[in-house]
Structure 1
Amino acid sequence: MTDIPPGPPTEEVRSAGEVDLLLRLARRWRRLGLDGADGLGLTPHQERALLALSRLEAQHEGVRVSSLAQHLGIAPRSATEVADALESAGLAARSSDPTDRRAVLLGLTEAGRGIVTAVRERRRAVAEQALQTLDEADRAELRRLLTLLLEA
């Protein structure tokens, strides 16, 4: 499955199913959102891990690396390597788990929270720019349809 080319819809795009179109759009926005990642000094994997850590940390005070690995769908060893890189960059810090002295928790630093905010703002700007191509009626219809999908 290829990405949607910019410009008027091609026959391939016109004949694609709704699921394919949603997946293509998500891939395009993800790629466009990553275009500015170089300025933050993060690899795509580190950025994804940082965002996941932020979401997990909102639910729990600290996050075990094994939980991060499970959330990302990667091997624990890979999650440890990403956690090491985030810690080396000063974006995450490890601490002892107060409920299990054998376990270590990972949490965002202030710098890490700042990067998460910047990443979310960049991704939101990409999506907002894309939505500018729609008039108000189309935006209202899109909002209605997305709400239906979220409620399903």
Structure 2
Amino acid sequence: MTTPDSDGLLAEQLLRFTRRVHRIQKRHIEQCGLGVTPAQSRLLRTLAHYSSPPRMADLAERLEVVPRAVTSLVDALEAGGKVRRVPDPSNRRVIRIELTEDGRKALRALRGARRAAAEEMLAPLSEEQRGVLGGLLDALVDGEREKRCG
């Protein structure tokens, strides 16, 4: 049975681990030497999931951020040559965002950095513990989805 104190301790552990995850990922991303922030990296990964270039509003919704935040990220990535704004072929007033070849190269390097960061974070765990952790994280993520949809 959980108590308010044990729930508070778990919440604190999760927050500390989240900060550790961010620190480790940031370090590995910086080691790539691409000049990309973790938030920009996330936007590049999100772009890669679209079969055709999305609108900025689509990206904002998928990233769960305000549209202005996406504009800032796209501005920085565009200045670095990793994305470009392109007009929608069916409505020239709509702007879509697509990866450039440099963006695809950066994405490949960033995937390696993410794998290295994950290996570092999970190193203390056995394969069995990793499986248990994966199940627990799935339960927490699925619980969030059910709460939003229900």
Q: Tell me if TM exceeds 0.5.
A: yes
Name the structure, 1 or 2, with higher relative contact order (CA <8 Å, separation 6+).
2
The amino acid across from 2:100 in the alignment is T
The gaps in structure 2 that reach 5 residues or longer are 1-5, 144-150
CA RMSD of aligned residues (A): 2.8
Match of 2:114 in 1: 123
2:39 pairs with 1:48: no
Selected match of 2:14 from 18, 22, 30: 22
- Counterparts of 1:1-152 in structure 2, within 5 Å, are 16-38=8-30, 39-54=33-48, 58-146=49-137, 148-149=139-140
> Residues 42-82 of structure 1: CA distance to partner in whole angstroms, max 9, x if unpaired?
2333223223323xxx2340111222233334443442232
Aligned CA distance change for structure 1 residues 75 and 141 (closer, same or farther; 3 Å): closer
Greater strand content: 1
The amino acid across from 1:26 in the alignment is T
Cα offset for 1:143? 4.2
The amino acid across from 2:130 in the alignment is R
Q: Percent identity?
A: 38
The gaps in structure 1 that reach 5 residues or longer are 1-13
Equivalences, count: 136
> Residues 11-62 of structure 1: CA distance to partner in whole angstroms, max 9, x if unpaired?
xxx88543443343233112211113332112333223223323xxx23401
TM-score (norm 2): 0.70
